[in-house]
Amino acid sequence: MSSREQDFLAGIDYLIEGNPWQQEVYRALCRLGVMEVLGPYQPVLVGTVPLDVDIPGSDLDVVCHVEQERREVFEALLKGTFGSCEDFEYAAREVDGLLRQVGRFRYEGWVVEIFGQPLPVEEQNGYRHMVVEHRLLELLDDKGREAIRSLKLQGFKTEPAFARLLRLEGDPYKELRDMYLWSPEQLGALAARLTE
């Protein structure tokens, strides 16, 4: 696990040293107190902002580990703490046999989505996708980051943008999730295809 991957799990302090956009996200999330409120659920900010491939309108996604027996407590926490935020919505549904709880709202212009699942954060798709994307961006450098941003500005979601750039076939979400278990050599060989 790289030091950046450890940073992802440790909180959001690494954003302080990021670009101005990441620093603003850090300040907004601190003002909201989201990481402290969700502390018992091991919250992790995932998605495009930690990776520095966000574009205007990107969401702030926070994934949490919510054990099945605490689902009602988590729901009450989301509604009680963030229910007064602009455009607040709460939904719960089963996805792949697991209950997924989502609180979505707007705060200081940012769309914040909080996901709770009865899985450790490191096993959740949002986290695994981000880690794989981080590893790939480390191999692709700034040109890869700019290519992903360009595809996102054309309307691609993040995982389909990576799939397009890397010429992956099949379901991009599944492909990237499966790549979480790849060795550095396998990821390096895939990234090297872009220079062929």
Which tens digit of pLDDT belongs to each residue from 126-139? 999 999 999 999 99
Residues 103 and 52 in one domain: yes
The pTM for the full model equals 0.92
Mean pLDDT of 83-106: 93
Q: Which residue has the higher pLDDT, 1 or 23?
A: 23
Q: Is the pLDDT of residue 56 over 70?
A: yes
Domain C-terminal end among 96, 123, 150: 123
pLDDT at 3: 72
Residue 196 in domain: no
Q: Residue 163: which domain range?
A: 127-191
pLDDT at 135: 92
Same domain, 106 and 132: no
Residue written as token pair 């030091």: 3
Domain membership flag for residue 151: yes
Question: What token pair was written down for 185?
Answer: 């050599």
Contacts of 117 (CB under 8 A, 6+ apart): 63, 64, 65, 66, 98, 99, 100, 101, 124
- Residues 20, 116, single domain; the answer is yes
Q: Does 86 lie in the same domain as 44?
A: yes
Cα radius of gyration (the chain): 17
